[in-house]
């Protein structure tokens, strides 16, 4: 795990949001005053990842919130195995944890909450909280004690603490419990096997032999039953077929007796059908002839009405009025336009002809006239406002000059008063030293002889004069500022004058200045309004007169034109007349079109009726030709007709009769075929007595088979139970062997744990593995000089081998720098063992203040060497000489009530 970015707000001493960018920070130092919040940056990492702080745990985490912050929030961006994650944790009005993974150019937020979220974080990091604070945040103090502790029992406790070997006592308890459980289980298995001693392979063989005998007897009886059933079924089928054959033969005989009468009825019905076809054709021919006559008479009437209406309708007038109606909106707009021009429709022979383009010209004139009128009014108002502004500005200038003269006099008076006060204060200052002066002796301040003692200083007088002086200075400064402002506004020298009434002058100056500003705004607005009207280059009076003449000319032309169109009527009456007249003419035209359409449809129908009549005549001739036996007289044909219901019934009865005969004959043929399928047939048909004898034999066989089946089922159940018991016995015997084997193992493990054999072996194994990795690291840190070994016979006491001297010596003989290197090597080795991966980052929060200069140099070189191994190393220290050796420095500044963190060069 390698941190990339830390953000925190309201956490510890950091009230405002702080951002620490660790991108590219391989080796850096964190510096700052005591209590400024250096270690709090490491606390922020554990809080973000695990919700805990090493110094407080998780339940007192609220104590880390800044007293002036509403919430405590930390965001940590970190990298694991090339993947980037961000975890945010907040405690305040709400508690919330959010985790996201950086995918491409976006952050994918995890949809996980609660304990599942915490567990997922631990799986990504590959370590829980305890392992993290023992590896990433290196416990240097513990390893120095571990290296130089006198007693082996103390080192063993440290290993137990760091490796979590405290569980060995729990293991002894659990091993003893497991041994007791196995003992109980073995006794239970032995008792259950005793109850299954009758479940043997020999008993199984006896049951299987009896089952074989019963199966053979059952198969024989079943075969016999099948044969008897076949004979019984054959006899039953023959009896049924012979009975059905006799019934069908009797039914066919009855049908043949009734056939002649039904055939006669059928022939009469067919003759009636052919005669009915001819009668229908005759009726349709007569109907078509009557309809043809009626249509010819209707056509003559329509033609007469159409001719009369065509003579009455004036299509030219209709066309002219339609044109006026289409332009009714245009006429209204012209009428409205004339009203806006102040005229009414009237004949004016002297008026010029009205042209289409005159409408636009008149509208433009009507729009332009109000603009010219408004421009005239604005120009007059502008002249008045400019004159008033000039008068106000002149009065303002005179007022300001008077105010300047008055202020100059007041300033001179205040300056004179201030000088008087300062002289008086100077005299009082000498009086303060009256007790040091002696007539005739030198003054201790100026060394001149004292002629006479100054008067005694009145109590409180100096303070009173000092207050008055400050008040005069304040008034003088204000007056000078105001005088400077007015001189700038007046812009000329002002001769002195007597003091006037300043308050009245200032009030008048303010009023006139406000009035001048208002007039300038008004003048500006009027000029802008005139500019918007775009009339700067026009002679307004001349333009207004020209527009009035043009309006009069165009209005007279339009009034004459509308009077001609409306024919002396007003617009409303003309429109009413036009609408009524058009309605009448349109009605006549529509009726004429309807008559034309009616004649066209009538003539089409005449053609269709004529064609239909010719078709009926041809069909009638063909029908007589096809039925020469039928009379050509209609009356004789109608005499052959039967009632339609009677005709239909006779034909249906014949069809039913023939269908019935065919079904019976078909059934007889099918019956004969089925009898042939049952061949060979007996010489004499079977009787009911033969069938009953077969049924009795079948009943006896079924009873015998049932008894054998029941016995076989009982044997099968007995076999299943016995097989289960035998299988159960085999499983129990195998389980018993396994339990006895496990018992021997747990018995030995319990003995080992109780006699300290296994803990002792585990401690030595961990110690050796730890030393192998620690010596690899120490070899790099000390340039191959030092290595460690353990004297196990002395209770896990450490020795150091110095390759430069070739001597083994106790770890107690190491100097401060040497001890730091050895302790650091042990710490890194144990960190990697606990994390079970190469660590990408670790932090040292260790006090280096007690180390001498030489040791600090060794420590600095060691840390610089580690920084070149592609790891992030962060060190917290107060030692400035050590901090300066680091390429990157993160400084924490302590302010009033909060701290700030920043990178420094």
**Consecutive sets of 10 residues in the chain, 905 residues long: mean pLDDT of each?**
93 93 91 88 92 75 88 94 92 89 90 80 82 67 56 61 64 82 88 83 83 87 86 81 84 86 84 80 80 82 81 80 81 80 82 83 78 76 82 81 82 84 72 69 65 71 80 84 77 54 75 82 77 65 75 80 79 82 84 83 83 81 82 80 85 89 89 81 78 84 88 85 85 88 85 68 78 85 84 70 87 76 78 61 71 68 69 85 86 88 90
Q: Which residues contact 868 (CB under 8 A, 6 or more apart)?
A: 26
Name the DSSP class of 313: -
Dihedral, CA of residue 233, residue 235, residue 237 and residue 241, to nearest 10: 180
Peptide bond into 680 cis (omega under 30): yes
The two beta strands, 872-876 and 27-31, are parallel
What pLDDT score does 154 carry? 60
| Residue 87 belongs to a domain | yes
Q: Please name which of 184, 276, 229 lies closest in space to residue 651, comparing C-alpha atoms.
A: 276
Whether 207 contacts 715, CB under 8 Å:
yes
Backbone phi, psi, residue 881, to 5°: -65, -35
Residue ranges of E strands in 474-528:
none
- In which domain, by residue range, is 430 found? 356-550
Neighbours of 587 (CB within 10 A): 11
CA distance 721 to 569: 125
Whether 126 contacts 835, CB under 8 Å:
yes
User: Collapsing DSSP states into helix, strand and coil, what is residue 223?
Assistant: helix
| Residue 601 belongs to a domain | no
| Residue 245 belongs to a domain | no
The two beta strands, 872-876 and 841-845, are parallel
CA distance 101 to 110: 8
- Residue 477 tokens read as 């400064």
Residue owning tokens 């409408």: 359
Whether 902 contacts 31, CB under 8 Å:
no
CA distance 294 to 633: 27
User: Collapsing DSSP states into helix, strand and coil, what is residue 16?
Assistant: coil
- Residue 360 tokens read as 């636009």
Dihedral, CA of residue 236, residue 240, residue 243 and residue 249, to nearest 10: -140
**Length reported for the chain:** 905
Burial class (CB in 10 A: 0-12, 13-18, 19+), 527: middle
Q: Which residues contact 620 (CB under 8 A, 6 or more apart)?
A: 278, 281, 282, 285
Q: What is the side-by-side strand order in the sheet with 72-80?
A: 18-21, 2-9, 72-80, 83-91, 95-103, 106-109
Q: Please name which of 67, 75, 79 lies closest in space to residue 1, comparing C-alpha atoms.
A: 79
Task: Please count the structural domains in the chain.
Answer: 2
User: Collapsing DSSP states into helix, strand and coil, what is residue 113?
Assistant: coil
- Residue 129 tokens read as 């909280």
Type and span of the H or E element at 597: helix 571-626
Whether 376 contacts 529, CB under 8 Å:
no
Q: Measure CA of the first residue to CA of the last residue in the chain; give whole Å.
A: 27
| Residue 385 belongs to a domain | yes
Residue ranges of E strands in 854-896:
872-876, 888-894
Q: Which one of 491, 526, 550 terminates a domain?
A: 550
Domain harbouring 877, CATH code: 3.40.50.300
Q: Which one of 513, 533, 550 terminates a domain?
A: 550
| Residue 698 belongs to a domain | no
CA distance 788 to 770: 10
Dihedral, CA of residue 358, residue 359, residue 360 and residue 362, to nearest 10: 80
CA distance 384 to 805: 114
Phi-psi bin for 91: left (phi > 0), alpha (psi -120 to 50), beta? beta
CA distance 15 to 5: 18
User: Collapsing DSSP states into helix, strand and coil, what is residue 131?
Assistant: helix
What pLDDT score does 18 carry? 95
| Residue 342 belongs to a domain | no
Whether 792 contacts 831, CB under 8 Å:
no
Q: Which residues contact 246 (CB under 8 A, 6 or more apart)?
A: none
Q: Is the pTM of this model over 0.75?
A: no
Burial class (CB in 10 A: 0-12, 13-18, 19+), 18: buried
Neighbours of 902 (CB within 10 A): 12
What pLDDT score does 150 carry? 45
DSSP string, 775-797: HHHHHHHTTT-EEEEEEGGGSSE
| Residue 58 belongs to a domain | yes
CA distance 145 to 149: 5
Q: Which one of 531, 550, 569 terminates a domain?
A: 550
| Residue 656 belongs to a domain | no
Please write down the HEC assignment for all residues of 826-842. HHHHHHHHHHCCCCCEE
Q: Please name which of 786, 870, 868 lies closest in space to residue 824, comparing C-alpha atoms.
A: 786
């Amino acid at each position: 795990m390698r941190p990339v970015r830390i953000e925190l707000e309201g956490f510890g001493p950091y009230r405002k949001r702080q951002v620490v960018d660790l991108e590219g920070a391989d080796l850096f130092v964190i510096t700052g005053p005591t209590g400024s919040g250096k270690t709090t940056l490491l606390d922020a990492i554990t809080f973000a990842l695990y919700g805990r702080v090493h110094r407080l745990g998780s339940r007192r985490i609220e104590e880390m919130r800044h007293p002036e912050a509403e919430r405590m929030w930390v965001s940590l961006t970190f990298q694991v195995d090339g993947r980037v994650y961000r975890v945010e944790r907040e405690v305040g009005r709400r508690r919330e944890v959010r985790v996201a993974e950086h995918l491409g150019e976006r952050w994918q937020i995890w949809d996980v909450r609660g304990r599942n979220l915490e567990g997922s974080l631990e799986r990504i990091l590959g370590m829980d909280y305890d392992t993290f604070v023992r590896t990433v945040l290196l416990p240097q103090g513990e390893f120095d004690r571990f290296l130089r502790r006198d007693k082996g029992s103390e080192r063993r406790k440290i290993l137990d603490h760091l490796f979590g070997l405290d569980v060995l006592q729990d293991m002894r308890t659990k091993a003893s419990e497991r041994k007791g459980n196995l003992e109980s289980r073995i006794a239970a298995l032995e008792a259950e096997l005793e109850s299954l001693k009758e479940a043997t392979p020999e008993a199984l063989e006896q049951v299987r032999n009896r089952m074989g005998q019963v199966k053979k007897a059952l198969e024989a009886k079943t075969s016999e039953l099948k044969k008897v059933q076949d004979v019984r079924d054959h006899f039953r089928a023959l009896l049924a077929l012979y009975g059905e054959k006799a019934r069908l033969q009797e039914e066919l005989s009855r049908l043949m007796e009734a056939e002649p009468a039904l055939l006669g009825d059928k022939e009469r019905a067919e003759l009636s059908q052919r005669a009915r076809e001819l009668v229908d054709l005759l009726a349709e021919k007569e109907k078509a002839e009557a309809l043809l006559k009626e249509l010819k008479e209707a056509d003559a009437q329509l033609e007469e009405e159409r001719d009369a209406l065509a003579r009455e309708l004036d299509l030219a007038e209709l066309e002219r009025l339609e044109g006026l109606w289409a332009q009714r909106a245009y006429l209204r707009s012209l009428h409205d336009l004339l009203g806006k021009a102040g005229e009414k429709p009237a004949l004016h022979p002297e008026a010029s002809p009205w042209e289409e383009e005159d409408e636009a010209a008149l509208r433009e004139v009507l729009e332009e006239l109000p603009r010219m009128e408004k421009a005239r009014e604005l120009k007059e108002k502008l002249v008045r406002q400019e004159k008033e502004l000039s008068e106000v500005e002149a009065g303002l200038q005179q007022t300001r000059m008077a105010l300047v003269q008055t202020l100059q006099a007041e300033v001179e008076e205040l300056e004179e008063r201030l000088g008087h006060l300062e002289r008086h204060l100077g005299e009082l200052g000498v009086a303060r030293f009256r007790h040091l002066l002696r007539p005739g002796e030198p003054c201790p301040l100026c060394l001149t002889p004292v002629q006479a003692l100054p008067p005694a200083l009145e109590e409180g007088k100096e303070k009173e004069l000092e207050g008055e002086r400050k008040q005069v200075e304040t008034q003088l400064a204000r007056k000078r500022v105001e005088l400077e402002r007015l001189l700038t506004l007046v812009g000329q020298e002002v001769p002195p004058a007597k003091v006037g009434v300043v308050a009245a002058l200032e009030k008048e100056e303010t009023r006139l200045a406000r009035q001048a500003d208002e007039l300038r705004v008004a003048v500006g607005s009027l000029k802008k309004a005139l500019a918007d009207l775009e009339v700067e280059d026009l002679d307004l009076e001349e333009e207004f007169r020209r527009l009035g003449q043009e309006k009069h000319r165009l209005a007279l032309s339009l009034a004459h034109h509308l009077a001609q169109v409306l024919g002396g009527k007003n617009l409303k009456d003309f429109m009413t007349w036009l609408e009524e007249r058009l309605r009448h003419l349109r009605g006549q035209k529509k009726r004429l079109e309807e008559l034309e359409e009616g004649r066209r449809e009538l003539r089409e129908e005449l053609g269709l009726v004529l064609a239909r009549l010719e078709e009926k005549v041809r069909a009638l001739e063909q029908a007589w030709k096809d039925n020469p036996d039928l009379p050509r007289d209609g009356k004789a044909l109608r005499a052959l007709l039967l009632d339609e219901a009677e005709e239909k019934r006779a034909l249906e009865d014949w069809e039913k009769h023939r269908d019935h005969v065919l079904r019976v004959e078909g059934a007889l043929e099918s019956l004969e075929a089925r009898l042939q399928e049952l061949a060979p047939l007996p010489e004499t048909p079977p009787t009911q007595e033969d069938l009953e004898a077969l049924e009795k034999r079948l009943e006896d066989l079924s009873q015998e088979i049932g008894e054998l089946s029941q016995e076989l089922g009982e044997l099968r159940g007995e076999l299943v139970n016995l097989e289960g018991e035998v299988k159960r016995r085999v499983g129990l015997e195998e389980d018993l062997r396994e339990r006895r084997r496990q018992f021997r193992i747990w018995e030995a493990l319990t003995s080992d744990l109780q006699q300290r054999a296994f803990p002792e072996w585990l401690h030595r194994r961990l110690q050796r593995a730890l030393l192998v990795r620690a010596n690899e690291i120490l070899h790099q840190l000390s340039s191959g000089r030092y290595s460690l070994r353990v004297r196990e016979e002395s209770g896990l006491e450490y020795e150091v081998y110095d390759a430069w001297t070739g001597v083994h010596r106790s770890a107690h003989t190491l100097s401060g720098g040497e001890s730091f290197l050895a302790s650091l090597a042990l710490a890194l080795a144990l960190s990697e063992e606990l994390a079970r991966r190469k660590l990408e980052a670790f932090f040292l929060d260790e006090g280096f203040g007690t180390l001498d200069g030489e040791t600090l140099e060794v420590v600095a070189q060691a840390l610089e060497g580690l920084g070149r191994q592609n790891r992030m190393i962060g060190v917290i220290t107060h030692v400035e000489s050590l901090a300066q050796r680091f390429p990157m420095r993160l400084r924490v500044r302590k302010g009033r009530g909060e701290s700030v963190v920043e990178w420094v060069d």
